[in-house]
Amino acid sequence: MWALRGLRGLRGAGGRGPWGRRAAHSVAVLGAPFSRGQSRRGVELGPGAVKAAGLLTRLHRLGCRVHDFGDLSFTSVPDDEIYNNRILNPRSVGRANQELAEAVDRAVSAGHSCVTVGGDHSLAIGSISGHARKCPDLCVLWVDAHADINTPLTTSSGNLHGQPVSFLLRELRDKVPLLPGFSWVKPCLSGPDLVYLGLRDVDPPEHFILKNYDIQYFSMRDIDRLGIQKVMERTLDQLVGKRQRPIHFSFDIDAFDPTLAPATGTPVMGGLSYREGMYISEEIHNTGLLSAVDLVEVNPLLAASDEVKATARLAVDVIASCFGQTREGAHAVYERLPGPGSPDESDSQERARI
Ligand SMILES: [Mn+2]
C-alpha cells in the first residue's frame, strides 16, 4: 500500500472526488538540513527558509492533513577523509542518507505522502531509497538544471550532490565504486523508471550515460520546442501510462530560471518559467499518484533577503501545486451559493417586513 491509494482512478478529474471536493492528502513534512554533498555553506538552512515561507500553513489550507516531522538531526562524522583524492565527505553523505532513508520509509509506511525539504540534492539517495523500500515499483520525475548522474569516477567537482542518480540506477552498478558510508545503498531504479525535466548543464560523461543507458530527458531546449504540455504528456505516458505506480518527484529549485530562484548554489541561465513549474506540479497532482517529493537546494546564504524569500515562496508554490493548489481556483470548503431565498436571507427579509 502506498500513500495515495485512495486517489486511484481519479486521473484527469483534477484530483477531485465525485462531488467536486478534493480527497484529503496526508502529508508528512521532513526537514533535511544537510549540506555536505556540496561545498557552499547555507543550504542546510533551506528547510527553515521554506517553512518560514509558510509551507505547513499552505498545505493545511489546501485541506491536507499535515504531519510536521521536524528537522532530522544527522549524525556528524568526524575525520571524513576525501576518498580517492576526489570525493568529498563520503561518510557524512552516506550516513545522513541512511538516516533519511529510514525516516522516509517510516513516513510512507505510515500512509503519508512524504515531503523532504533539503538540503542539497545528494539527499535524493536516501529519500528515493527509503521510498523504494515501501514502494519498490516507484518511478522518478527529476526536475533540475543538472542531471546529477556523474559517477564517483567521472565527477570533476567531487561533490556528491552531482552524483546521486548514479548510485540509484541498476544499470550503473558495475560503474560505481563502493564509497565508505555507502554499503547500505542498493540501486532501486532502472533507466525507464526515470525522466528528467529542465536540463541545461550536463557534463560530457553524464550525456554519455543519458544516451547510452536509454534515459528519457527533456532539456530546456526540448521544452522550448515541444511546449510544457506535450513534455508532461510524454513524461507521464512513459512513467505511469502503462501501469499506475507511485511517483517520486525530485525537484531541484535550480530548475527554475535564476531570476525566479536566485538563492541556490549552482544557478544556470535559461530555466523554467513560473508557469512551467506550476504546470509540471499540477500535472503531477492530477495523476493522483504522487507519493513523495524532494524540494532541494534552497540556499538562504547566497542571495539578498528579499531574493531568499522569493526563492522560498517559489518552493512552497511548487509543493502546494503538487498537493492540489490550482490556478483556476477551487471551492473545497464552499458548498452552497447563498440566494435571496436561503434561510438567513428570508429571516432578515421577514424581519424587515415586520
Ligand atoms: Mn540537483
Q: Is 303 left (phi over 0), alpha (psi -120 to 50) or beta?
A: beta
Question: Which spans in 38-180 are helix H?
Answer: 46-52, 55-61, 90-109, 124-134, 164-168
Distance (Å, whole) CA 219 – CA 8: 30
Task: Kindly state the average pLDDT of the residues 161-183.
Answer: 98
Please name the residues in contact with 163: beta carbons below 8 A apart, sequence gap of 6 or more.
Answer: 122, 148, 149, 150, 151, 152, 155
Has 121 been labeled as part of a binding site? yes
252 has catalytic annotation: yes
Answer for the pair 47, 117: CB distance below 8 angstroms, yes or no: yes
List all residues 6 or more positions away from 226 whose beta carbon is below 8 Å from its beta carbon.
218, 234
Q: Is 285 annotated as a binding residue?
A: no
Is 257 one of the catalytic residues?
Answer: no
pLDDT of 336 over the 80 cut? yes
Q: What pLDDT score does 278 carry?
A: 98
Residues in the chain: 354
Of 105, 252, 257, 294, the active-site residue reads 252
4: confidence class by pLDDT, cuts 50, 70, 90: very low
pLDDT at 205 over 60: yes
| CA–CA gap between residue 104 and residue 92 (Å, rounded) | 18
Superfamily covering domain 26-347:
Ureohydrolase domain (3.40.800.10)
Active site residue 345: no
81 class by beta-carbon count within 10 Å (0-12 exposed, 13-18 middle, 19+ buried): exposed
Who wins on pLDDT, 132 or 1? 132
Query: pLDDT band at 331, cuts 50/70/90?
Result: confident
Q: What's the gap in Å between 265 CA and the centre of ligand 1?
A: 10
pLDDT digits (tens, 9 = 90+) for 29-82: 999 999 999 999 999 999 999 999 999 999 999 999 999 999 999 999 999 999
Residue 348 has pLDDT above 60, yes or no: no
What pLDDT band is residue 349 in, cutting at 50, 70 and 90?
Answer: low
Locus of grid cell 525539504: 117
CA of 255 to the centre of ligand 1 (A): 8
* Planar angle of CA 340, 342, 346, nearest 5 degrees: 70
pLDDT exceeds cutoff 90 at 6: no
Has residue 234 got a pLDDT over 60?
yes
Is residue 193 predicted with pLDDT exceeding 70?
yes
Domain boundaries, the chain: 26-347
Whether the pLDDT of residue 22 is over 80: the answer is no
Which of 25, 131, 146, 285 is an active site residue? 146
Cα(203) to centroid(ligand 1), Å: 13
Known binder of ligand: residue 252?
yes
Share of the chain above pLDDT 90, in %: 87
Tell me: pLDDT of 247 over 70. yes
Q: How many angstroms does the Cα of residue 146 sit away from the middle of ligand 1?
A: 6
Q: Is 129 left (phi over 0), alpha (psi -120 to 50) or beta?
A: alpha
**d(CA 141, ligand 1 centre) in Å:** 12
